[in-house]
Amino acid sequence: MALRRGIAGHRRLPGGVNPLLGLAFAAAAAGVAAAFQSGPWAVGCVTAAAAGAAVAWSRVRPTRAVVIGFAAYVADLASGVAPAPVFLPLIVTFAAAVVLGSRPVAYAVLFAGYVLAVFVPVPGWDPPSVASGGGLAAWFLVLAAAAELVRVRRQARRAREAELAGAARTRQEQELRRAGDERLRIARDLHDVLAHQLALITVQANAGLTLLPRDPRAVEQALTAIKDAGNSALGELRAALDALRSPGAGAAPHRPSPRLSQPGDLAELLEGARAAGLRVTADTAGPLPVLPTPVDQAAYRIAQEAVTNAIRHAGAGSTLGLRVACTEGRLELTVTDDGRGRPGSRTAGGGNGLPGMRDRATAFGGLLTTGPVPGGGYRVAAVLPIGGAS
């Protein structure tokens, strides 16, 4: 493996320079010059070697390489040496300059080379005729067209690669955004669930302590409610942690997320409020229609947080009223209590309950209003668009 890396390091220097390719061109060009030229053949070998060596830089310095190749061609003409050995390196460096370097310089070299080839006599060659001049022009045009074709295809390939890379980055950003949104949703759900269940546990524990000396049966009911609330909270916490551990696995949760339109979910929520000592009245105006799942789940969480606040701040003996209605493509949810809690106690302490409910409502283009009601108590009212549900 180390030997292979060493060979690779000799084959290509940093920056894309390929010395072996340049050495091969230089040796071939110098050999041709030494074998077929007469006269000052040493000069021809030097210029041919220089032109061949320029090929080594054709990828990283294509404009400089084509200028060096053209300079070798001019040097051969000036010294009276046939320039045939420098033609192939000059063709390679010209194509590289068109594709990778300065096209104006490359075409200036091509035009100047044509002028010199047509109007400057080459030792050992017959003066070019009109037909040979036209043929050379046609050959140069073919060379230019081939180089342009390679350039266009290379640009198209690079544009496609950039497009694919951009699409991959977009997909990655979308996946990260979805993962972040999912984690935020889980955090909100976890807050709502734990806040609700802990509120029930606290209320039942306080009631049990109060009733312990005089009503063992009531204490048993309170402890049972605490046990049920604790088990429910642990189940929700376990499901949330499983989702956080494997967010991309697509595993189904232990239990479906509760929905407001599901009678069982709503009944369980209200039963928890009754167990906490609240008198509960519910008005759903009959069965709810099929709601969009995200809206349905968000509405349940808003109702859950509102009930939790009523349990926490209104206290046992208060009346909790819940009203749900669907009218004109929107879901209206109102939770009201007439409890003893002071109006200021609903926002004190910097909790996440009210901001979380507001975020859930605005996420769907809805509206949430909260505040005290005349005569005491508190009201939470949410309006969520439901589109085509009716």
Q: Say how many domains are in the chain.
A: 2
Neighbouring C-beta atoms of residue 157, cutoff 10 Å = 10
Cα dist. 337→36, 216, 371, 372 in Å?
107, 29, 11, 9
Measure the CA–CA gap between 213 and 37, rounded to whole angstroms: 122
Position 334 pLDDT exceeds 60: yes
Say which residue, 56 or 348, is predicted with more confidence: 56
DSSP H helices, the chain, are: 2-11, 19-36, 41-54, 62-79, 87-100, 103-119, 130-211, 216-245, 263-275, 293-309, 353-363
DSSP letter at 102?
-
pTM: 0.47
pLDDT in tens, 84-94: 677 778 888 88
pLDDT at 357: 87
pLDDT in tens, 361-374: 888 889 999 988 88
Q: In this structure, is residue 219 part of a structural domain?
A: no
Q: What's 374's domain CATH number?
A: 3.30.565.10
The domain of 277 spans: 259-390
Residue 40 contacts by C-beta under 8 Å, 6 or more apart in sequence?
Answer: 79, 80, 81
pLDDT level of residue 383 (50, 70, 90 thresholds):
very high
Position 258 pLDDT exceeds 90: no
Q: Which of 128, 146, 181 is the last residue of a domain?
A: 128
Q: In this structure, is residue 337 part of a structural domain?
A: yes
Q: In this structure, is residue 198 part of a structural domain?
A: no
| Burial readout 224-262 (b: 16 or more C-beta within 10 A, e: otherwise) | ebbebbeebbeebeebbeebeeebeeeeeeeeebbbbbe
Measure the CA–CA gap between 350 and 386, rounded to whole angstroms: 31
Cα dist. 197→193, 258, 275 in Å?
6, 14, 12
Say which residue, 216 or 151, is predicted with more confidence: 151
pLDDT at 278: 84
pLDDT at 10: 41
Helix (H) / strand (E) element for 372: namely strand 367-372
Q: In this structure, is residue 363 part of a structural domain?
A: yes
Q: In this structure, is residue 314 part of a structural domain?
A: yes
Q: Which of 100, 128, 156 is the last residue of a domain?
A: 128
Average model confidence (pLDDT) for the chain? Answer: 75
Question: Three-state DSSP class for 346?
Answer: helix
Cα dist. 16→69, 92, 357 in Å?
19, 16, 59
Phi, psi of 339 (to 5 degrees): -75, -170
Q: Which of 128, 159, 182 is the last residue of a domain?
A: 128
Q: In this structure, is residue 156 part of a structural domain?
A: no
Q: In this structure, is residue 47 part of a structural domain?
A: yes
Helix (H) / strand (E) element for 324: namely strand 319-327
Position 16 pLDDT exceeds 60: no
Task: Give the whole-number percent of the chain exceeding pLDDT 70.
Answer: 63
| Burial readout 300-335 (b: 16 or more C-beta within 10 A, e: otherwise) | bbbbbbbbbbbbbbbbbebebbbebebeeebbbbbb
Cα dist. 324→260, 266, 267, 376 in Å?
9, 11, 13, 22
Sheet holding 319-327, edge to edge: 279-283, 319-327, 330-337, 378-385, 367-372
CA nearest 11: which of 69, 59, 56?
56
pLDDT in tens, 21-74: 666 666 666 666 555 555 555 666 777 777 777 887 778 888 888 898 888 888
Q: In this structure, is residue 78 part of a structural domain?
A: yes
pLDDT at 15: 46
